[in-house]
Amino acid sequence: MARKEPLSFDPIEEAARQWAQRWSGVDEMRAVTNLMRVQQLVLAELDEILRAYGLTFARYEALVLLTFSRAGSLPLGKMGERLQVHPTSVTSIVDRLESSGHVLRRRHPTDGRTVLAEITDAGREVVETATEALVAADFGLGDLNPAQLRGLSQLLTPLRAAAGDFDADRISRTSY
């Protein structure tokens, strides 16, 4: 991905300098602003890589989720829970994947009210090739070494648990 010309100053540090003249919480503001900016940059890079496969990162995640499921299919509601997105977003993601031939919608065999998204062979193929491209690009995190990557995950995981993203107590009892 072609990078634009970098700024001659760090806008987050400048914001922190000005913030400190008005309010407290400078370290928190600086950290969250850095976190959000990195998320924007990484997502833009991953979406750029995935564009070659007709995917966005959200659609890629949905295909990976289906790949991980035993039957290659999941109810749309379950997909929303696992991807942690609104039901409308799941519907939109599945619509796009269906129109590209990567997913089929099917009625649940025992619950007629439930709609399943089922990955197709084309969906499995695109997951494999797209994953190779993402791995080759270090998922946009190539400037970090393995210890830094582990440290980043260890730093962020408690924030996710505290926000209710997952039950940390339950996981620690069933450690992986």
**Residue 16 pLDDT more than 80?**
yes
Find the range with the poorest average confidence among 36-40, 104-108, 109-113.
109-113
- Using the 8-state DSSP alphabet, how is residue 2 labeled? P
Q: What is the rounded CA–CA span in Å between residue 80 and residue 94?
A: 11
Q: What is the model's pLDDT at position 169?
A: 85
Burial (CB < 10 A; 0-12, 13-18, 19+), residue 94, is buried
Residue 124: the pLDDT is 98
Determine contact, residues 63/127, Cβ cutoff 8 Å: yes
Looking at residue 3, its pLDDT comes to: 66
126 close to 84: Cβ distance less than 8 angstroms: no
Q: Is the pLDDT of residue 174 over 70?
A: no
**% residues pLDDT > 70 (the chain):** 95
pLDDT at 2 over 60: no
> Which pLDDT band, with edges at 50, 70 and 90, does 80 fall under?
very high
3-state secondary structure at position 119: strand
Q: pLDDT band for position 173 (50/70/90)?
A: low
Report the alpha-carbon distance of residue 69 to residue 18 in Å, rounded.
Answer: 49
Overall average pLDDT of the 41-55 stretch: 97
The pLDDT value given to residue 35: 97
Mean pLDDT of 70-82: 96
